[in-house]
Amino acid sequence: MDLITSRTMEITKLGMDGLMDRQHAIASNIANVMTPGYQRKEVAFESQLAEIREREDLKDYIKGQNSIEYKPPVMDVFTGEVHKYRTPTLQEKAYLKSNVYDQFKPQLVTDIFSGSDSKGNNVELEREMMDLSKTGTKYLVLSNLERRNFSGLSDVIRGQ
């Protein structure tokens, strides 16, 4: 992890991307409220963010185990170095190098379970407006979190 990139900032960015996709889906639903046969769309991504967070937690656990689990000093015969800590397995090293953020892809799904009107349209304007408001509020919260992260980083750079 470098100075500018942190786990919180990465997950916040992905969350904001997912919320933006959700806003687009809601806007499409609102635009098609009178279109016969139109089925509303939703965007699902929260479970992916939870999985990314769990994978990052596992990475932190592996790093912690490899840095605090004491073993008696062992001298490497070839290099002469003395190893005092557990060394990660090849599988752990590969996992630590993997980028879990690349797996994020919000899913656009069609809502086939909501009841529809006589023309086959299942968009309810009130529901869409409520979802639009909730999504906007969540986006605002995440953008404020990002702003605070960058503000703290700016304070560090300026020496305050």
Q: Is 159 contained in some domain?
A: no
- Token readout for 46 is 């929260």
Compute the Cα dihedral for 133, 113, 43, 57 and give only its sign. Answer: positive
Over pLDDT 70: what percentage of the chain? 86
Confidence of residue 2 (pLDDT cuts 50, 70, 90): very low
| Helix, strand, coil shares, percent, the chain, to 5 | 60, 10, 30
In which element (H, E) is residue 86 found? none
Percent of the chain beyond pLDDT 90? 48
CA triplet 94, 54, 70: central angle to 5 degrees?
A: 60
**Structural domain contains residue 41:** yes
In a domain, 149, yes or no: yes
Provide mean pLDDT across the span 10-23: 95
> Domain for residue 1, yes or no?
no
For residue 3, pLDDT over 60 is answered with no
Residue 107 lies in a domain: yes
Please tell me the distance from the alpha carbon of residue 82 to that of residue 37, in angstroms, as a whole number.
71
Domain hosting residue 19, numbered range = 7-154
Give a yes or no: residue 2 inside a domain: no
Q: In sequence order, what are the beta bridge partners of 41?
A: 110
∠ at Cα 47 (9, 110), nearest 5°? 115
pTM: 0.76
pLDDT at 1: 42
What value does the mean pLDDT take over residues 17-35?
A: 96
- pLDDT tens-digit profile of 37-88? 999 999 999 999 999 999 888 888 887 777 655 555 666 667 777 666 666 7
Is 11 a domain residue? Answer: yes
For residue 13, what pLDDT is reported?
93
Question: By C-alpha distance, which of 135, 158, 119 is closest to 19?
Answer: 135
Q: Using the predicted structure, report yes or no on whether residue 19 has a pLDDT greater than 80.
A: yes
pLDDT at 71: 57
Mean pLDDT estimate for the chain: 85
Provide the pLDDT for residue 72: 59
Domain count, the chain: 1
Dihedral sign, Cα of residue 81, residue 84, residue 89, residue 94: negative
Asked, for residue 57, whether it belongs to a domain, the answer is yes
Cα distances (angstroms) measured from residue 118 to each of 37, 110, 113, 114, 147: 9, 19, 15, 13, 47
Q: Regarding predicted confidence, which is higher, 78 or 136?
A: 136
Angle between helices 46-68 and 7-31 (to 10 degrees): 170
Q: What is the mean pLDDT of residues 91-109?
A: 87
Provide the token pair at 62.
Answer: 């592996």
